[in-house]
Amino acid sequence: MKTKSHSRFQQAVALVTASSILFASSAGAQATNDQAKTYFNAGAQAYTIGEFAAAIQAFDAAYKIAPKPAILFSLAQAERRQYFVDHKTDHLQKAIDGFHKYLDEVKQGGRRVDATQALEELEPIYAEMKKEGKMTAPPPPEAAAKLPPRLMVTSPTPGAQVSVDGGKMSDAPYVSEVKTGKHSVRVEAKGFDPESRDIQALDGGLVALDLDLKERPAYLSVDAPSGSEIQVDGRPAGVTPLTQPIALTHGRHFVAVVKNGSLGYSTEVNLVRGETQKIGAKLVSSGQRTASYVVLATSLGALAAGGVFLGISLSKQSKAKSILDAQGSGNISNAQLDDYANFRDQRDRFRTMSYVSFGACAGLAVTGLFLYAFDRPSVTAPLPSSLEPSATPKTPPPPSMEMGAVPIIGPSVVGAAFAVAF
Mean pLDDT by 10 residues, the chain (422 residues): 46 49 51 80 87 88 90 93 90 92 91 92 89 72 66 89 92 88 92 91 83 90 90 89 90 90 87 90 80 85 89 87 75 77 87 88 86 72 48 46 46 46 48
- Output the CA–CA distances (angstroms, integers) from residue 45 to 32, 87, 176, in the order listed: 20, 22, 13
Q: Which of 255, 264, 256 is nearest to 283 (CA)?
A: 264
Report how far residue 237's alpha carbon sits from residue 244's, in angstroms, rounded to the nearest whole number: 12
Return the ∠ at Cα 185 (arms to 182 and 188), rounded to 5°: 170
Quote the distance between the C-alpha of residue 165 and its chain's center: 37
144-214: CATH class: mainly beta
Q: How far apart are CA 118 and CA 101, in angstroms?
A: 13
Domain chopping of the chain, boundaries: 4-138, 144-214, 218-280, 287-384+396-421
The overall longest dimension of the chain from CA atoms, in Å, is 159
Q: So what's the pLDDT on residue 177? A: 86
For the question of whether the overall pTM of this predicted structure is more than 0.75, the answer is: no
What pLDDT is attached to residue 288? 77
CATH dotted code for 4-138: 1.25.40
How deeply is 257 buried, as exposed, middle or buried, from its count of CB atoms within 10 A (0-12, 13-18, 19+)?
Answer: buried
* Shared fold status for 4-138 and 218-280: no
Q: What is the pLDDT of residue 343?
A: 82
pLDDT at 385: 47
Instruction: Report domain 218-280's class.
Output: mainly beta
pLDDT score of 140? 65
Cα gap 229→353, rounded to integer Å: 45
8 Å CB contact between 62 and 71: yes
Which residues 6+ apart lie within 8 Å of 317 measured at CB? Answer: 343, 347
